[in-house]
Amino acid sequence: MLVVARDLLGRVVRHRTGEGLVAVRLTEVEAYAGEADPGSHAFRGPTPRTAVMYGPAGHAYVYFSYGVHWCVNLVTGTEGAASAVLLRAGEVVEGLELARSRRPAARRDADLARGPARLTTALAVTGAQGGADVCAGGPLEVLSGEPVPDAAVSWGPRVGVAGAGAPTPWRTWVAGDPTVSEYRAAVPRRPRRA
């Protein structure tokens, strides 16, 4: 999964809809190790929501986050063993006007896909794309793009992940790229009183 996370930097995610096509060059991603990772949705085992994470690699795991926005991950593990990489941020490289119309609050083009919810909004990815094979040439696909040299790659802790998985340096990004999202440490939850 970490090899795939690193490999995704510089690749292009493209989504065709009835409105047109938007493509985003990935500049930031974050890896999740399934049942071995307290930060993963699959930590407690398979559920109907996480079933796609246990399927073959190269499929989209799309989920609704906090009842507000969609996020998209790419499944990376072998079938039966959940792992995925969250697509966190990127640069719109095709369909700029359409992406702007989907993200009218963005003050600059670098902000159009700067963060996982903004990225899915710019691409118009929703739950309808859950389970899509992104390697099969369908409406949602991942293309080769431009490789990012190792000297331009940074690694660090994941955004908003607390607990046992918090210090894991499984977020990777293109250093200095203006489309990379701002790092925010997790705020630990306080235990509820009975």
* pLDDT range class, residue 180, cuts 50, 70, 90: very high
Domain, as residue range, for 20: 2-174
CATH number at residue 120: 3.10.300.10
Tokens of 77: 């593990």
pLDDT score for 186: 64
Total of domains in the chain = 1
Q: How far from 152 is each of 9, 33, 149, 173, 174, CA to CA, in Å?
A: 10, 24, 6, 8, 6
pTM of the predicted structure, to 2 decimals: 0.91
Identify whether 185 is part of a domain.
no
Query: What is the tens place of the pLDDT at every residue in 73-110?
Result: 999 989 999 999 999 999 999 999 999 999 999 999 99
What's the whole-number average pLDDT of the chain?
A: 92
